[in-house]
């Protein structure tokens, strides 16, 4: 099984790492190319491009200027311990044991606007470049254009015959993958909460649930749709009644 999740805007480069293990990103050359283009952007350009505050623009301008290769444990951090958003709260990677880390390296892939596709232990330097940003490079008008074929081809090369892909990434990041070209079963879980008597997707809760499901799939060495549907955590459980498409199973609470 391969599990896809989104990155996070919030980063953590200060917490003590639970492991010294690390790997090299598959698309470091592409990340370097993108960073070269970003370096030419002034803080005011970044503020406008990304729709962020002046303070955040200054921080990310500094990050862009400080980007350097080769990546080492002194200037970079394993991705799964660097991202710090709601998905990663649910995932709780800091409590991984050696087995969970190994399982994550085999199964978990993090989509990224700068790095394309990351394994949990791939070193990354701090950045901000959302996949939906209208930023072009090398004749590509968007990051989707730049990344889609690269990410899809690489992911397909990692898949065994009929290996299940579980897409737990947001629509923004999942759009960077051509799922049809993977030629393998793909599941897109949906998480809904009852609010005012109706089932709704509530972004904050759904993000955490994606992390919780990711952790469940890694801990149980999940390999099948049955394993996915067995997920039950934080009050969520599979609802056959709420599911209209078997490839998009709905989990409710």
How far is CA 245 from each of CA 1, 172, 187, 240, 249, rounded to the nearest angstrom?
20, 21, 10, 10, 7
User: How far is the C-alpha of 143 from the C-alpha of 20, rounded, in Å?
Assistant: 32
24: cis peptide before it, omega within 30°? no
User: Which single residue is written with the structure tokens 């049955």?
Assistant: 226
43 closest CA partner among 72, 65, 11, 23: 65
Q: Which spans in 40-160 are helix H?
A: 43-50, 54-66, 79-82, 86-91, 98-107, 143-158
CA atoms in the 13 A half-sphere facing the CB of 18: 15
What count of other Cβ atoms lies within 10 Å of the Cβ of residue 62? 11
Task: Return the pLDDT at 219.
Answer: 95
Render pLDDT for 214-233 as a digit per residue (tens, 0 to 9): 999 999 999 999 999 999 99
247's tokens: 């490839």
Task: Return the pLDDT at 197.
Answer: 87
Tens of pLDDT along the chain (253 residues) come to 999 999 999 999 999 999 999 999 999 999 999 999 999 999 999 999 999 999 999 999 999 999 999 999 999 999 999 999 999 999 999 999 888 899 999 999 999 999 999 999 999 999 999 999 999 899 999 999 999 999 999 999 999 999 999 999 999 999 999 999 999 999 999 999 999 889 999 999 999 999 999 999 999 999 999 999 999 999 999 999 999 999 999 999 9
CA atoms in the 13 A half-sphere facing the CB of 31: 28
Percentage of the chain exceeding pLDDT 90:
96
98's tokens: 């050696």
Task: Return the pLDDT at 176.
Answer: 98
What count of other Cβ atoms lies within 10 Å of the Cβ of residue 208? 21
Render pLDDT for 153-201 as a digit per residue (tens, 0 to 9): 999 999 999 999 999 999 999 999 999 999 999 999 999 999 988 999 9
Task: Return the pLDDT at 136.
Answer: 87
Domain regions of the chain by residue span: 2-252
User: How far is the C-alpha of 135 from the C-alpha of 129, rounded, in Å?
Assistant: 9
Task: Return the pLDDT at 116.
Answer: 98
How far is CA 125 from each of CA 1, 12, 24, 153, 205, rounded to the nearest angstrom?
27, 11, 12, 24, 28
């Amino acid at each position: 099984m391969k599990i896809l999740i989104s990155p996070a805007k919030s980063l953590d480069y200060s917490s003590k790492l639970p492991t010294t293990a690390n790997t090299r990103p598959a698309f470091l050359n592409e990340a370097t190319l993108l960073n070269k283009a970003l370096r030419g952007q002034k803080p005011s350009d970044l503020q406008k491009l990304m729709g962020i505050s002046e303070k955040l623009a200054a921080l990310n301008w500094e990050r862009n200027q400080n980007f350097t290769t080769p990546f080492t444990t002194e200037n970079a951090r394993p991705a799964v311990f660097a991202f710090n958003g709601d998905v990663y709260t649910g995932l709780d990677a800091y409590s991984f044991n050696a087995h969970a880390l190994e399982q994550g390296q085999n199964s978990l892939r993090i989509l990224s606007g700068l790095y394309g596709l990351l394994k949990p232990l791939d070193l990354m330097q701090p950045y901000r470049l959302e996949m939906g940003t209208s930023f072009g490079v090398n004749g590509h008008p968007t990051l989707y254009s730049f990344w889609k074929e690269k990410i899809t081809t690489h992911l397909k090369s990692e898949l065994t015959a009929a290996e299940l892909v579980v897409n737990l990434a947001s629509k923004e990041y999942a759009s960077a993958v051509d799922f049809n070209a993977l030629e393998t079963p793909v599941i897109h879980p949906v998480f809904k909460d009852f609010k005012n008597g109706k089932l709704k997707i509530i972004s904050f809760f759904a993000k955490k649930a994606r992390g919780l499901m990711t952790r469940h799939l890694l801990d149980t060495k999940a390999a099948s749709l049955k394993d996915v549907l067995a997920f039950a955590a934080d009050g969520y459980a599979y609802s056959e009644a709420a599911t209209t498409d078997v490839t998009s199973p709905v989990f409710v609470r």
